[in-house]
């Protein structure tokens, strides 16, 4: 069952990896005077004390110097994300300094250079929006489309976390672009940086109770964990207040400090001056629907309904994460594992308790180990649960049984449930440009459509009258936006990160390389006799950080050098199994030497209905390696 599928943790977990303990913030003043600090004895494999303090105020002052990363110092001195970014933005230089470069991430932007250009660096900025559930109002889509032309590279990019990215923004235009987004129902606040990122949820605009409830929950979680200190609005719209009504349950949960979660009298009651140790990712979904890659998130939330379809509460997974570092075996991708169940009225308090546990105990000395997956990997799920329960104030109930997960793409035409239709449009690598961009804008503008971005980098057109289906289908086809039955199945599930030329972390190509890679893999399929309607999940990234979630793919290509990739095998089509590294340093021109024997082996030795990822796991890497080494080509048929 699905609960069991999440039992695996990470490639480093079975190696007995021990990460040195780091004691978190040790912030003072977390509990009001007169409140006692509660401690609870828990089992621990560590040689250190088995007493976990559930709040961060020590009993006596700790005068020892705690090593912290440079980014921690930048955050501490920033006056809640203002300084020195506010000064750097007004300078004549085309770039900003190191501290401001780190701080602007919290505002939703990365400083970049075009690595294709030699000589003098051409500084520019990438902006990423925050769109819980991938929801994009009509007005915001049209504004983003304009901004891409007026200030960017002329393209929009849909991300694997249901947001937009705008590339090529010059520093002098940042404030104009940011303020335009804010004043047109958008935001970039918290799209990057050491805090909760965009909250995923199924993008399909169904009117079914559980889907609506999942999306409302995702929006409430996003609101709960949005920075409160006001620096974002001070910098980009001169402190102007943008009116937005928050649900009272969100305000109540944020302000509640009955279990020592908050920084009293701080403009950031949950985050404090230091925010979180690293990025933090949350997804919400309903049973069966794994369109959100639920097990790859720090927190995965699943709606649990009664027999009548009425939502009752939530299962919670914790500890997922993709990023790793090449040649550092103590870093690894990890699947989320079951934490427990909470009734629906408690979800915001449970989420807050998990976030605070990471805030107080996640490592802040070495950012390679700062994600929550390493904390859980060190502590174990039982100890982690016990500490979270101190901040939650209750015991978690047992995890409810779930059906098997399925990947949902929502491509093509579907009934919403309210008499209207929606249309899922496949976008290769999420890049919208050229005639495709022009046509999408015309359709969205003409029919006044809201849209949604999927976690697979596609676009959903919402609220379509039945009479509009034929002309919209025709217009899409003329722009090369075909129905899913007319697209190679390999393309439908493939993903790639942007990588070169703008990402500073990229080692090799991803988005620019994947079209040709997919064509070559289809040619290999034809050569070894695999049918045209068959497919495998392929994901390509230009570095090991895993933005396109390659470690969940049946075939993951992870950049490990110029024009070179690691080959990862063993994920499953429903994204519930972690791939493992099969081989390293495969030059892009030599991919067929590895892939041809693997796909031939799958075609000739698979069980009925067995996916490629499941096949590679069953056969084992030793036999697969032997197959590759002895490969002389497919057997000729008489």
Question: Would the pLDDT of 108 be above 60?
Answer: yes
DSSP three-state, residue 138: helix
What residue spans define the domains of the chain? 195-392, 412-488, 492-630
**Level-2 CATH architecture, domain 195-392:** 2-Layer Sandwich (3.30)
Mean pLDDT across 282-309: 98
Question: Would the pLDDT of 36 be above 60?
Answer: no
Give the H/E segment covering residue 357.
helix 347-361
Range with the poorest average pLDDT among 109-123, 200-214, 438-452, 507-521: 109-123
Q: What gap in Å lies between CA 280 and CA 443, rounded to an integer? A: 35
Q: Report the pLDDT value the prediction gives residue 42, as an integer from 0 to 100.
A: 35
User: Which residue did the predictor score with more confidence, 56 or 25?
Assistant: 25
pLDDT tens, residue by residue, 441-494: 999 999 999 999 999 999 999 999 999 999 999 999 999 999 999 999 999 999
pLDDT tens, residue by residue, 211-258: 999 999 999 999 999 999 999 999 999 999 787 789 999 999 999 999
Q: How far lies 392's CA from each of 84, 357, 372, 531, 607, in Å? A: 36, 10, 17, 52, 47
CA atoms within 13 A on the CB side of 392: 25
Percent of the chain residues past pLDDT 70, beyond the cut: 89
Q: Report the pLDDT value the prediction gives residue 64, as an integer from 0 to 100.
A: 56
Question: Would the pLDDT of 25 be above 70?
Answer: no
Dihedral angle sign, alpha carbons of residues 258, 264, 269, 270: negative
DSSP three-state, residue 462: strand
Q: Report the pLDDT value the prediction gives residue 65, as an integer from 0 to 100.
A: 66
Assign 305 a pLDDT band (cuts: 50, 70, 90): very high
Assign 60 a pLDDT band (cuts: 50, 70, 90): very low
Give the residue from 260, 258, 263 showing the smallest Cα distance to 275: 263
Residue 561 bridge partners (DSSP): 564
What is the average pLDDT score of the chain? 91
Q: Report the pLDDT value the prediction gives residue 241, as an integer from 0 to 100.
A: 79
Percent of the chain residues past pLDDT 90, beyond the cut: 87
Q: Taking the chain, what is the end-to-end CA distance rounded to the nearest angstrom?
A: 44
Mean pLDDT across 32-56: 33
Q: Are 437 and 467 in contact (CB under 8 A)?
A: no
Q: Report the pLDDT value the prediction gives residue 104, as an integer from 0 to 100.
A: 98
User: Which residue did the predictor score with more confidence, 8 or 308?
Assistant: 308
Q: Largest Cα–Cα distance in the chain?
A: 87
Same fold, 412-488 and 492-630: no
The pTM (predicted TM-score) of the whole model is 0.91
Mean pLDDT across 325-339: 97
Q: Report the pLDDT value the prediction gives residue 12, as an integer from 0 to 100.
A: 44
Q: What gap in Å lies between CA 198 and CA 162, rounded to an integer? A: 8
Q: What gap in Å lies between CA 292 and CA 295, rounded to an integer? A: 9
Listed in sequence order, the residues at least 6 apart from 514 whose beta carbon sits closer than 8 Å to its beta carbon are 428, 429, 494, 496, 538, 540
Range with the poorest average pLDDT among 4-13, 257-266, 310-319, 370-379: 4-13
DSSP three-state, residue 112: strand
Give the residue from 571, 621, 109 showing the smallest Cα distance to 322: 571
Listed in sequence order, the residues at least 6 apart from 434 whose beta carbon sits closer than 8 Å to its beta carbon are none
Q: Name the fold adopted by 412-488.
A: Sulfite Reductase Hemoprotein; domain 2 (3.90.480)
Range with the poorest average pLDDT among 23-32, 250-259, 612-621: 23-32
Give the residue from 631, 616, 619, 513 showing the smallest Cα distance to 564: 513
Q: What gap in Å lies between CA 266 and CA 251, rounded to an integer? A: 15
Q: Look up residue 200 and give its two tokens.
A: 């995923």
CB atoms within 10 A of CB 598: 25
Q: Are 128 and 188 in contact (CB under 8 A)?
A: yes
DSSP three-state, residue 293: coil
β-strands 299-305, 282-285: how paired? Answer: parallel
Residue 344 DSSP class: G
Assign 118 a pLDDT band (cuts: 50, 70, 90): confident
Dihedral, CA of residue 543, residue 502, residue 493 and residue 557, to nearest 10: -20
CATH number of 492-630: 3.30.413.10
Q: What gap in Å lies between CA 374 and CA 364, rounded to an integer? A: 12
Q: Report the pLDDT value the prediction gives residue 633, as an integer from 0 to 100.
A: 86
């Amino acid at each position: 069952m699905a609960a069991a599928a999440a039992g695996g943790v990470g490639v480093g977990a079975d190696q007995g990896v021990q990460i040195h303990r780091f004691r978190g913030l040790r912030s003072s003043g977390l509990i009001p005077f007169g409140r006692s600090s509660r401690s609870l004895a828990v089992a621990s494999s560590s040689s250190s004390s088995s007493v976990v303090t559930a709040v961060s105020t020590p009993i006596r002052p700790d005068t020892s110097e705690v090593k912290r990363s440079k980014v921690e110092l930048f955050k501490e001195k920033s006056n809640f994300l203002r300084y020195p970014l506010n000064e750097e933005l007004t300078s004549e230089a085309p770039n900003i300094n190191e501290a401001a470069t780190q701080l602007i991430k919290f505002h939703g932007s990365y400083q970049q250079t075009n690595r294709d250009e030699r000589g003098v660096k051409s500084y520019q900025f990438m902006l990423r929006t925050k769109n819980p559930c991938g929801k994009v109002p009509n007005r915001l889509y049209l504004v983003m489309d304009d901004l891409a032309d007026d200030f960017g590279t002329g393209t929009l990019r849909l991300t694997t976390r249901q947001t937009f990215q705008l590339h090529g923004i010059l520093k002098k235009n940042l404030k104009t672009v940011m303020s335009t987004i804010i004043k047109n129902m958008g935001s970039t606040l918290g799209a990057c940086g050491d805090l909760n990122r965009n909250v995923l949820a199924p993008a399909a605009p169904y009117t079914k109770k559980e889907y609506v409830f999942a999306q409302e929950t995702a929006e409430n979680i996003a609101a709960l964990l949005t920075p409160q200190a006001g620096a974002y609005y001070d910098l980009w719209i001169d402190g102007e207040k943008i009116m937005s009504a928050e649900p009272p349950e969100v305000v109540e949960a944020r302000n509640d400090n009955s279990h020592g979660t908050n920084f009293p009298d701080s403009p950031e009651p949950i985050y404090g001056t230091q925010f979180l140790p690293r990025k933090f990712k949350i997804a919400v979904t309903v049973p069966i629907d794994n369109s959100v890659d639920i097990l790859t998130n720090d927190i995965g939330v699943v709606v649990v309904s009664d027999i009548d379809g009425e939502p009752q509460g939530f299962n919670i997974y914790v500890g997922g994460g993709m990023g790793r570092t090449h040649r550092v075996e103590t870093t690894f991708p990890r699947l989320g594992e079951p934490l427990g169940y909470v009734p629906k009225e408690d979800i915001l308090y449970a989420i807050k308790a998990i976030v605070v546990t990471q805030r107080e105990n996640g490592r802040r000395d070495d950012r390679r180990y700062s994600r929550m997956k390493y904390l859980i990997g060190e502590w174990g799920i039982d100890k982690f649960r016990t500490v979270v329960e101190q901040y939650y104030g209750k015991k978690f109930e047992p995890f409810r049984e779930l059906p098997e997960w399925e990947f949902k793409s929502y491509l093509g035409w579907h009934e919403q449930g309210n008499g209207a239709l929606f249309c899922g449009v496949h976008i290769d690598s999420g890049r919208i440009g050229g005639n495709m961009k022009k046509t999408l804008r015309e359709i969205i503008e003409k029919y006044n459509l809201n849209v949604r971005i999927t976690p697979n980098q596609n676009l959903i057109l919402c609220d379509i009258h039945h009479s509009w289906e034929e002309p919209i289908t025709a217009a899409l086809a003329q722009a090369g936006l075909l129905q899913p039955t007319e697209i190679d199945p390999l393309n439908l599930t493939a993903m790639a990160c942007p990588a070169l030329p703008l990402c500073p972390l990229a080692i090799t190509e991803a988005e620019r390389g994947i079209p040709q890679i997919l064509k070559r893999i289809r040619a290999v399929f034809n050569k070894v006799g695999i049918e045209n309607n068959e497919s495998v999940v392929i994901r390509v990234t230009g570095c090991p950080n895993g933005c396109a979630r390659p470690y969940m793919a049946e075939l993951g290509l992870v950049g490990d050098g110029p024009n070179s990739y690691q080959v990862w095998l063993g994920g499953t089509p429903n994204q519930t199994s972690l791939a493992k590294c099969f081989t390293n340093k495969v030059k892009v021109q030599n991919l067929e030497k590895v892939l041809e024997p693997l796909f031939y082996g799958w075609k000739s030795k698979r069980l009925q209905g067995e996916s490629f990822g499941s096949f590679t796991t069953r056969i084992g890497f030793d036999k697969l390696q032997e197959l590759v080494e002895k490969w002389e080509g497919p057997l000729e048929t008489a």
